[in-house]
Amino acid sequence: MKDKQKLKAYLDNKVVAINHIDFVKDDPISIPKSYSLSQDIEITAFWVAMLAWGQRKTIINKSTELFTLMDNAPHDFIVNHEEKDRAKFKDFKHRTFQYTDTLYFLEFLQSYYRKYSSLETAFDFTESAELALIGFHEQFFSLEHAPHRTRKHVSTPSRNSSCKKLNMFLRWMVRTDSAGVDFGLWKNIPASHLMIPLDVHVQRVATKLGILKRTQTDWKAVVELTKNLRQLDPEDPIKYDFALFGIGVLGEL
């Protein structure tokens, strides 16, 4: 990595400029930001992240529709609803996320939250982030008759997916700083263990900056880019998600 200190100074400045609470209102993270109960925040953040493709305005509108169907009390609804209550979700869909997928998400989350108080325990980072995400995927689809079609909505490194949505969700839950964008709800997963939420926009900027050589947007690229970002900040490498995203949006390169 050439001119490491110069690059770090440049990206650190971009983090300060973009990692700002004003960013929240037009971003899907505004949905979980509207809740105060930790379980409501987790559930909405996870589901919003899984629906996060397309225009941000559309994602916000569809997420608002979804949680309105849960009476804007997602944890209470998920834990206590009966099977007949799922019928009202029949007309909810977002792109390829259909009624079948909604039903399975409701079923898994109900099963999970009737046993555990937080989704954090579903991610075991003891050995590696890769195994943590693989383990979560396996647990999420461990219920009997889990629909094969729903698996595409929760990615896994075992298929060499970049797992952008899961890594974004984990960033929201784990990272904490004075800016107040990410939640920092989860205390048992170090921010240093997080992986970059990689999409084509972040990949393009990282490539132009010389911190990513791999051309595919896959898990191997996530590992490579995260490793290089850890050279800039070993304790909080994923803060640079803000910088790479912002540089791309502003078209500075």
Two tokens at 113?
């939250």
Quickly list DSSP for 206-235.
Answer: HHHTTS----S-SHHHHHHHHHHHHHH-SS
Supply the angle between the helices 200-208 and 240-250 in degrees, to the nearest 10. 90
Judged against a pLDDT cut of 90, whether residue 253 lies above it is answered with no
- Beta carbons within 8 Å of 15's beta carbon, 6+ residues apart: 239, 240, 242, 243
pTM, two decimals, is: 0.96
Give the Å distances, CA to CA, from 252 to 49, 83, 140, 189: 27, 51, 39, 33
Cα distance between residue 32 and residue 48, in whole Å:
8
**Long-range contacts formed by 199-202: CB under 8 A, 24+ apart:** 199/162, 199/164, 201/244, 201/245, 201/248, 201/249, 202/241, 202/244, 202/245, 202/248
Question: What are the tens digits of pLDDT across the range 173-199?
Answer: 999 999 999 999 999 999 999 999 999
**Element spanning 133, H or E:** helix 129-140
Residue pair 124/139 in contact (Cβ under 8 Å)? The answer is no
Cα distance between residue 134 and residue 127, in whole Å:
12
Residue pair 8/235 in contact (Cβ under 8 Å)? The answer is no
pLDDT in the model for residue 54: 87
Cα distance between residue 85 and residue 162, in whole Å:
35
Give the Å distances, CA to CA, from 92 to 64, 96, 166, 245: 11, 11, 22, 30
Can you give the residue range of the structural domain that contains 220? 4-250
Report the pLDDT averaged over residues 89-108: 97
Judged against a pLDDT cut of 90, whether residue 250 lies above it is answered with no
pLDDT in the model for residue 252: 67
Question: What are the tens digits of pLDDT across the range 123-157?
Answer: 999 999 999 999 999 999 999 999 999 999 999 99
Cα distance between residue 13 and residue 23, in whole Å:
16
Question: What are the tens digits of pLDDT across the range 196-236?
Answer: 999 998 999 999 999 999 999 999 999 999 999 999 999 99
Three-state SS at 239: helix
Cα distance between residue 120 and residue 227, in whole Å:
24
Dihedral angle sign, alpha carbons of residues 222, 156, 117, 49: positive
Give the chain's mean pLDDT: 95
Residue pair 89/99 in contact (Cβ under 8 Å)? The answer is yes
Number of domains making up the chain = 1
What is the DSSP-derived secondary structure letter of residue 97?
B
Three-state SS at 94: strand
pLDDT in the model for residue 248: 78
